[in-house]
């Protein structure tokens, strides 16, 4: 057992940080805890409770520990390394997601996920000394090029859904000039990038993400027809993408890749495949040999004959990868430790699992505390992220609705309203409270949509216990405060925009969810969607759901409002204020 704490507490480990000298740090998302276990993982050394979940940890050269915690009022904490006591607490806001210390600038660098920023902080004064816009929802980063550069992973695409390509972009940041010096775009369809790891020789980085096949109708999942699961390799010397490989096999998906690490001996890349409850173990040396041979026209697998086809080849890792059960549900974090070992944590069932890479032996450390899977809402969360419910494990509900059932920024051609009319993925926040469901209201409510999604998207049996738990999970979701708010309040521009909204928009976008629940035809629809009545979209958390309109044609709110906004002429200033108001909801 990991610890004998109060069993009413919920243990949901979602991040791991291994320190050879101190042991294993575990972030418990449900209880806002940072736990430090001794290296044998059998005994709890120290525990600190914060105001919100721990998102990142960094150990300084002097031994001090810095932690960033989630939330609109997200905090930066300085901890005493010996007892994990809080030395200082500083509000930095907007869901800080990762932290790194840079020895060249002697400063801390923190990503602000919902502000789309990277901030530099003086560790002595705790002041923000520079702010750099890096991309949409930065979630992780590494330092490279002798610490002169940072590579920031952004979670979401940042373009309209009718653009090409549509994909996540990474940002290369020069810490001296405080500028983004390059953007690295992943392959078309790349979304929900989760994590990054760097090789021991600092030559390559490895990024986990989904690779959606959204151009195809959603009529099957076999062989990754709809969704594949990928690892992109970044050549840090060239500051460019080397290639992207699929973690899947032709007969089996490896859904929802999350955490990634490189083994201490630099021989393996290990990925936590959260949707199928496995670790993917990749021979790193053989991987790069295979990629280098492919550049010379030598292909070691029969399914690929062109370098550019590697991201489409589910057989590319054949013979150099293996798949190991994590003995629980939903591994999200993975960390390398000394002695050829790797550690992972099952988010939904609480096990910490240590595996010897040399012989494959596993030690499963269970918790005596309650887990997410012990409650109906927690089980619904687990099922929503569980690709083993569906055919061959290619995708879960979270593959199209990542980040707590939000949107992936893509258009999908679902068959519920015909073929050849793709529509933008909707956030499922308040979906149960705002029937009907789907853009055209084709499902009478979210309960129907959940059951239809299991049957027609995952190609799974719609077990009623599973469906009811998913309903409970989706109903439990709450919106994140808008980053456009100022200390929780609307700006003066947003307040003026509210007047325009009330005069020109509120007749349809009314009530607590800013929708009257009705269907209307719109005069800006294209092709087969002309004269099709569409659901009035709820506007809660709309700042997070770009791109906009049924086909995702508008990435910015102002662009959308010029298509579907006030029917009377308003000034540019009034349009800016209206956009500010809507983005503040």
What average pLDDT does the structure give for the chain?
95
**Superfamily for the 492-583 domain:** Cytochrome c-like domain (1.10.760.10)
pLDDT, mean of residues 70-90: 96
pLDDT digits (tens, 9 = 90+) for 160-174: 999 999 999 999 999
Whether residue 307 contacts residue 244, with contact meaning beta carbons closer than 8 Å, is answered with no
pLDDT at 7: 40
DSSP 338: T
> How buried is 259 (Cβ within 10 angstroms: 0-12 exposed, 13-18 middle, 19+ buried)?
buried
d(CA 163, CA 182): 20
Q: SS3 string of 34-67?
A: EEEECCCCCCEEEEEECCCCEEEEEECCCCCEEE
d(CA 442, CA 439): 8
Whether residue 92 contacts residue 78, with contact meaning beta carbons closer than 8 Å, is answered with no
Whether residue 331 contacts residue 272, with contact meaning beta carbons closer than 8 Å, is answered with yes
Q: pTM score, two decimals?
A: 0.96
The pair of structure tokens assigned to 61 is 């050269």
pLDDT at 219 over 90: yes
d(CA 308, CA 572): 45
CA angle 318, 322, 328 (to 5 degrees): 145
pLDDT at 40: 78
pLDDT digits (tens, 9 = 90+) for 475-530: 999 999 999 999 999 999 999 999 999 999 999 999 999 999 999 999 999 988 99
pLDDT, mean of residues 47-63: 95
pLDDT at 456: 93
In the chain, % helix, strand, coil (3-state, to 5) comes to: 20, 35, 45
* Among 387, 584, 422, 560, CA closest to 497: 584
Instruction: Provide the percentage of residues in the chain whose pLDDT is more than 90.
Output: 91
**Superfamily for the 381-476 domain:** Cytochrome c-like domain (1.10.760.10)
User: 253 or 39: whose pLDDT is higher?
Assistant: 253
pLDDT at 334 over 50: yes
Q: Where in the chain is the domain with CATH 1.10.760.10?
A: 381-476, 492-583
pLDDT at 157: 98
* Among 371, 323, 372, 331, CA closest to 352: 331
pLDDT, mean of residues 388-415: 96
d(CA 470, CA 455): 14
The pair of structure tokens assigned to 146 is 């002798």
């Amino acid at each position: 057992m990991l610890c004998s704490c109060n069993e009413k507490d919920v243990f949901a480990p979602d991040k791991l940080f291994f320190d050879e000298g101190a042991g294993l740090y575990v972030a418990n998302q449900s209880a806002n805890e940072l736990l430090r276990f001794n290296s044998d993982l059998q005994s709890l050394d120290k525990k600190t409770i914060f105001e919100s979940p721990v998102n990142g940890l960094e150990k300084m050269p002097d031994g001090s520990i810095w932690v960033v915690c989630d939330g609109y009022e997200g905090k930066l904490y300085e901890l005493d390394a010996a007892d994990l006591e809080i030395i200082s607490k500083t509000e930095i806001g907007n869901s800080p997601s990762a932290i790194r210390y840079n020895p060249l600038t002697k400063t801390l660098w923190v990503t602000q996920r919902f502000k789309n920023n990277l901030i530099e902080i003086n560790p002595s004064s705790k002041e923000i000394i520079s702010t750099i816009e890096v991309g949409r929802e930065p979630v992780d980063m590494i330092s490279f090029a002798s610490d002169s550069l940072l590579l920031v992973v952004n979670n979401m695409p940042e373009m309209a859904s009718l653009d090409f390509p549509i994909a996540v972009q990474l940002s290369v940041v020069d810490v001296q000039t405080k500028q983004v010096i390059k953007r690295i775009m992943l392959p078309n369809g790349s979304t929900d990038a989760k994590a990054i790891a760097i090789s021991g020789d600092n030559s390559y980085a490895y990024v986990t993400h989904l690779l959606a096949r959204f151009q195809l109708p959603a009529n099957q999942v076999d062989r990754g027809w709809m969704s594949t699961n990928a690892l992109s390799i970044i050549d840090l010397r060239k500051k460019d993408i080397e290639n992207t490989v699929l973690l899947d096999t032709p007969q089996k998906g490896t859904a929802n890749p999350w955490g990634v690490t490189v083994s201490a001996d630099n021989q393996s890349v290990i990925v936590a495949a959260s949707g199928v409850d496995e670790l993917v173990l990749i021979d790193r040396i053989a991987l790069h040999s295979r990629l280098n041979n492919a550049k010379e026209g030598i292909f070691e697998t029969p399914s690929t004959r062109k370098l550019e086809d590697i991201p489409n080849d589910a057989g590319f890792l054949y013979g150099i990868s293996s798949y190991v059960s994590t003995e629980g549900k939903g591994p999200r974090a993975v960390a390398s430790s000394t002695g050829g070992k790797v550690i992972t944590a099952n988010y939904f069932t609480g096990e910490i699992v240590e595996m010897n890479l040399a012989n494959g032996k596993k030690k499963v450390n269970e918790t005596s505390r309650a887990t997410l899977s012990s409650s109906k809402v927690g089980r619904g969360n687990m099922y929503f992220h569980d690709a083993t419910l569906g055919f061959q494990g290619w995708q879960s509900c979270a593959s199209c609705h990542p980040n707590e059932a939000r949107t992936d920024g893509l258009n999908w051609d679902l068959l519920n309203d015909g073929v050849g009319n793709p529509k933008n993925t909707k956030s499922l926040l308040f979906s149960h409270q705002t029937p009907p469901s789907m853009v055209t209201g084709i499902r009478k409510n979210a309960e129907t949509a959940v059951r239809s999604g299991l049957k027609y998207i995952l190609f799974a049996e719609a077990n009623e216990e599973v469906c009811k738990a998913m309903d409970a999970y989706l109903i439990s979701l709450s919106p994140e405060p808008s980053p456009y708010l100022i200390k929780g309040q609307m700006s003066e521009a947003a307040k003026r925009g509210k007047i325009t909204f009330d005069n020109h928009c509120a007749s349809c976008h009314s009530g607590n969810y800013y929708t009257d629940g009705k269907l209307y035809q719109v005069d800006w629809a294209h092709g087969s969607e002309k004269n099709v009545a569409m659901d009035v979209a709820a506007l809660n958390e709309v700042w997070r759901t770009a791109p906009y309109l049924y086909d995702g044609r508008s990435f910015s709110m102002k662009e959308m409002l010029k298509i579907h906004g006030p029917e009377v002429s308003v000034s540019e200033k009034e349009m800016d204020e209206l956009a500010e108001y809507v983005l503040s909801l």
